[in-house]
Structure 1
Amino acid sequence: MLNRKWYSHPVLLTGIAINLFVLILAVSVKGSPEQLMRVLTEDGIVEWMQFLCFAMTAGLLVFAGVERWKRSGFDLATLGMLGLGLVVAAAAMEEISWFQRILHVQSSEFFQQNNRQGETNLHNLAIGKGGSIHKTIMLKMILLAGLTHNVILPLLARSRPAVRNFVEKFGVYLPPLPVSVIYLVLVALSHVLIEHPRKGELGELFGAVHYMSTIFAAYFLGFGYSQPAVFQQTVEARLVDKLFSGVMLFLLLTAWLLSAGAGAMMG
């Protein structure tokens, strides 16, 4: 377990830096509707980064779950990690409409008639007048779950350690409160500083990066996590956290290149 402060943890700091960079990028081009749209549009850097972070996080969760299974046997925490991994993997696929646009697959008649964007995904299925599953249901659930997981439970755990122990029994961790506060502040700033119909994509990206970095810090390095971490040797963990920081930056570069390629194809 790494007993360092959050502000000296490379993975956590890299996650914050990536989110701050994307916010600054969006603010810097907000005066140009065309450039801002290229940042926030389908197959833009924000959406590709979301997919890459979700895909990486799903892999991390499944890997951590399998390692726990090997070391401690199959228990409720193992089931929780594996289950969360599958949910996040589905979120990643939903983000790119299950590779529909990449493979140039035509949507079925059902999705053409019932999906707000005419795509093959579930979160944009229409509900009521002008609504969708994502806007009407999922955003409210994400907001409630996000505040509970990032603020309420970490605050309670400070004075009641039993709260953290209870949460960890289900294979869940609690992110560091200061890191969560920074994440939520960046989400709030994105809503205040950016005026665009798709500005909510920024908050979703911030969440994807935040969870990727804090999940790695908890499950793999034992940061703020009382259960056995994947890497338990301090020297080994200190090398791995720097390596993963580099991987996160590489994901950002990859998202940028993918978005540039999509823009060239559309052009």
Structure 2
Amino acid sequence: MAAKKLHSHPVIVMAIIINVFVLGLAVAWSGPDLTKLWRLLGEDGIVEWMQFLCFAVLSGMLGFATVQRWRQSRRFSLELLALGGLTALVALAALEEISWFQRILQIQSPEFFLQNNKQSETNLHNLAVGSESLHKAVLLKIIALVGLTHNLVLPLLARVKPGVRRWVEDLGLYLPPLGASIVYLVLVALSHALIEHPRKGELGEMFGAVHYLATVFAAYFTGYNYGKPALFENKADACRLSALFAMQLAFLLMVAWMLSAGAGAMSS
């Protein structure tokens, strides 16, 4: 299903709607009183829970795709290795996002993390690297470079040289639709320009989590903007599944909102 029109895939449309809604919420809640904005961006806030839920679902989807590809070929390949590696990487991101359930289970951090973690939490991305955390000093730069390359540079090159897309897909990866990527990158830029808050970077991370959840589903499961066989090759089945998954995305935002209310978003 090598579709060209952005509005033809309901999951990508829903992802854009969710990201625009959250940015609008952040703008509306900005002002002298940052109480509501902390509810959105703080620890155990709406945005953090949405990131976790998207990463958790995405890891499950990639794991499912890995198993299905293995059943089809019964041999190791670059595609299988890429899907399996991404499954583990995204699962790690999900667990890191909520500090491995530490705050939920109310577990005290070991001495090592109390001394070496910027937030005294049991996670790796906030480990101290000089005066900064590993996340700010290293990971954000890598994420920005990979994100721009995957969402802008390679899709633009693929329009001129179709072999670029084939090369990426032969590695077991995919290229997001350029239109969806541009919207995602513009929203990240707007979040930095319009929001004044010490945790405004969380918005861009959530936008990325929602964007990748939608585009991974669209590519691997329905074949949207993807040259290799999709997991659901029947067009009617893919369309019905896409409609259901679009509703699931909206449901994830509602669950994130409810979880933030139950946990109580921290203001520092």
TM-score of the superposed pair, with normalisation by structure 2 = 0.96
Report Cα offsets for 1:11-64 as digits up to 9, x if no partner.
Answer: 000000000010011111111211111110000000000000001111111111
Change (3 A) 1:28 1:80: same
Runs of 5+ consecutive residues of structure 1 not aligned to the other structure: none
Distance 1:265 1:224 in 2: 40
Q: Does 1:16 align with 2:35?
A: no
What's the counterpart of residue 109 of structure 1? 111
Range with bigger deviation, 155-164 or 184-193 = 155-164
Equivalent in the alignment of 1:25: 25
Q: CA deviation at 1:265?
A: 10
1:78 — aligned with what?
Answer: 80
Deviations 1:74-95 (A, max 9, x none): 3110110111010000000000
Kept in 1, the 8 Å contact 2:2–2:227? The answer is no
Does 2:39 correspond to 1:38?
yes
Q: How does 1:1-267 map to 2 (within 5 A)?
A: 1=1, 3=3, 5-31=5-31, 32-73=33-74, 74-129=76-131, 131-263=132-264
Q: How many Å apart are 1:72 and its aligned residue?
A: 2.4
After superposition, the Cα gap between the structure-2 partners of 1:115 and 1:10, relative to the gap in structure 1 and judged at 3 Å, is same
* 2:43/2:266 contact within 8 Å kept: no
Which amino acid is the alignment partner of residue 85 of structure 2?
Answer: G
Rounded to whole Å, the distance in 1 between the matches of 2:266 and 2:229 is 47
Gaps of 5+ in 2: none
Q: What is the alpha-carbon distance in structure 2 between the residues aligned to residue 42 and residue 257 of structure 1?
A: 14
Q: Is the 8 A contact 1:126 1:132 kept in 2?
A: yes
Contact 1:2/1:234, CA 8 A, preserved across alignment: no
For residues 123-167 of structure 1, the C-alpha deviation after alignment (integer angstroms, 9 at most, x for no partner) is 0000112x0100000000000000000000001111111111111
Q: Percent identity?
A: 61
What is the CA–CA distance in structure 2 between the aligned matches of 1:2 and 1:258, rounded to whole Å? 37
CA shift, 1:8, in A, is 2.2
Distance apart, 1:3 and its partner CA: 3.6
State the distance in 2 between where 1:181 and 1:26 align.
20
Judge conservation of contact 1:2–1:221 (CA < 8 Å) in 2.
Answer: no
Quick one: which amino acid aligns to residue 69 of structure 2? R
Distance in 2, Cα, partners of 1:243 & 1:38:
29
Number of residues paired by the alignment? 265
Question: 1:2–1:237: 8 Å Cα contact kept in structure 2?
Answer: no
Counterpart AA for 2:29? V
Task: Confirm or deny: 8 A CA contact 1:23 1:186 kept in the other structure.
Answer: yes
- The structure-2 alpha-carbon separation of the partners of 1:194 and 1:265, relative to structure 1 and needing over 3 Å to count, comes to closer
Give the Cα separation in 2 of the matches to 1:69 and 1:176: 26
In 2, Cα distance between equivalents of 1:53 and 1:106: 26
Change (3 A) 1:215 1:264: closer
Matched to 1:50, the amino acid is: Q
Letter in 2 for 1:20: V
Residue pair 1:69, 1:75 contacting (<8 A) in 2 also: no
